[in-house]
Structure 1
């Protein structure tokens, strides 16, 4: 089914579900550019309603003293584009969060890690109303309504189709990309969302996982010969998993991810931050789902499987 093209730029109304390091940053940028943005919050609701959002960014700091803040989705207006930036560990809430907020011809854009979230959301709103976005950004929430953006910021945006068939570049991708461009957010077009998801895992699996297991920032992991070698092995297993789904990842891409990590400012991954805060880890989305998808086509990824088992143990003990 061909998706309905969203309205003209600046007429689109945006909702952000999950106003943290990712949703808060991109939503604030959209509002700063003049778009009508509505934020769903939980613990920070009262603070943000009274004081707004503060963004410290390498591209320039700014404050939004007034934002449209809500604690209940039923009180939000229907929106053309609903950005979901929750941790995937909270996706069980989406069946009650999404229906009150998405317009009949609206679209849900998942700015989340890992594999499989689009399939879950398609069961709620329909497969023709889902898009995926992969965020290449170093951003943390350092206090209520206070976001610190330290590096990068692009989003790779792709349209979802049932069973992750490649969709190419669609009209609504270009329309939403135009909005983000107006807000100073770089959009990279993905013709094949599944291929992009696997490519993002090339970095996310080794560095999110090892940062927790070894209690280390990215600079330490990439500088040590042993952990760099282990990261490369894990990356190669991701490449093997993608190949099993007919998605080829070039060796040059693996080297590019290693080189970028060398140049990256010392960084605590999102999973390590969650671990230190004793919050649930996104283990299933980032590790479990890729392992299951690979196993379905008869491919084992033993080092990723070991990392997965270690993380499950640490996560359970950490939150006990």
Structure 2
């Protein structure tokens, strides 16, 4: 596989940041835009970053996937709440030998996308990125940025590292984006949930930034208990995460700048929450293996309530 062209489906805080970095490094990148299409076509993309600010005055932007060229690598950076649109979108933009790289949070997403494009055309990317979209075509990168890449195979069977993983990793690294290659995508997904489940969930329910959650003994204790419950979930899928990993994630968050998680931003902006992908799917997977995760289940039901109320408010106000 020789990569000549990237597509970004979802040019937000994450897709916009990675896509802009790739274009800045000289790669051919095509962006699907939504509400800020007109603005970006006229003014380009602006990235404020701890690694150095830059502007792309001109980008290949589209407001309809049908107008996009066929691409070798499709970066899916939409919220998972919009994944029902992908069955229409992906066939219109992926080359015959192309690959979909899923840069989304949660569990089981690759399985759904494989049903559209086939098992051998899907990869997962776990993004450790603190980035917010602060205006039309304007992204603020606060911290981190590493991606862990893994190939998807049926039932998340580990397949090791492949040439196309290395090629994509080389492109990202040429753009200043650190990449690690994972031989086991499912393990990587569960590891990411060790962070995502406690911080995304509690930030909404307790109305707190990551720093506030870490500063209070009670919320910090709850974060830690949730992390251990995710490890139990992983074990039910035959994936072992060491207790040391919990300490690493706590240290990682202690060292972060105060951060409003993506789920908290969605909640504050009255957008649908990614409850099923991040909480529902792991609960189902564990339950299938006969394992209950009571704390995560409690978060799930609280978030479903808040999400439903938020959507009602959004519908009334529109």
TM over 0.5: yes
The 3-state SS of whatever aligns with 2:143 is strand
1:214-293 aligned at under 5 Å gives the runs: 214-293=206-285
Count of aligned positions: 312
**Aligned twin of 1:166:** 158
The 3-state SS of whatever aligns with 1:194 is helix
**Aligned twin of 1:3:** none
Unaligned runs of 5+ in 1: 1-5
The 3-state SS of whatever aligns with 2:51 is coil
1:1-320 aligned at under 5 Å gives the runs: 6-7=1-2, 11-320=3-312
- Displacement of 1:280 in angstroms is 0.3
Please give the alpha-carbon distance, in whole angstroms, between the structure 1 residues aligned to 2:217 and 2:251. 14
TM-align CA RMSD: 0.6
- Displacement of 1:87 in angstroms is 0.4
Unaligned runs of 5+ in 2: 313-318
Please give the alpha-carbon distance, in whole angstroms, between the structure 2 residues aligned to 1:262 and 1:148. 20
**Aligned twin of 2:316:** none
Q: Deviations over 1:190-226 (max 9, x none)?
A: 1100000000000100000000000000011011111
Question: So what's the TM-score if we normalise by structure 1?
Answer: 0.97
The 3-state SS of whatever aligns with 1:56 is strand
Q: Deviations over 1:235-264 (max 9, x none)?
A: 111000001111000000001101111111
- Displacement of 1:167 in angstroms is 1.0
Please give the alpha-carbon distance, in whole angstroms, between the structure 1 residues aligned to 2:159 and 2:272. 33
Please give the alpha-carbon distance, in whole angstroms, between the structure 2 residues aligned to 1:116 and 1:314. 23
Please give the alpha-carbon distance, in whole angstroms, between the structure 1 residues aligned to 2:256 and 2:171. 28
Q: Deviations over 1:39-74 (max 9, x none)?
A: 001111111111110000000000000000001111
Q: Deviations over 1:252-281 (max 9, x none)?
A: 000110111111111000000000000000
Question: So what's the TM-score if we normalise by structure 2?
Answer: 0.97
The 3-state SS of whatever aligns with 1:268 is coil
Please give the alpha-carbon distance, in whole angstroms, between the structure 1 residues aligned to 2:28 and 2:207. 41
Please give the alpha-carbon distance, in whole angstroms, between the structure 1 residues aligned to 2:212 and 2:131. 19
TM superposition outliers: structure 1 runs of 4+ over 4 Å: none
Please give the alpha-carbon distance, in whole angstroms, between the structure 2 residues aligned to 1:62 and 1:262. 28
- Displacement of 1:33 in angstroms is 0.5
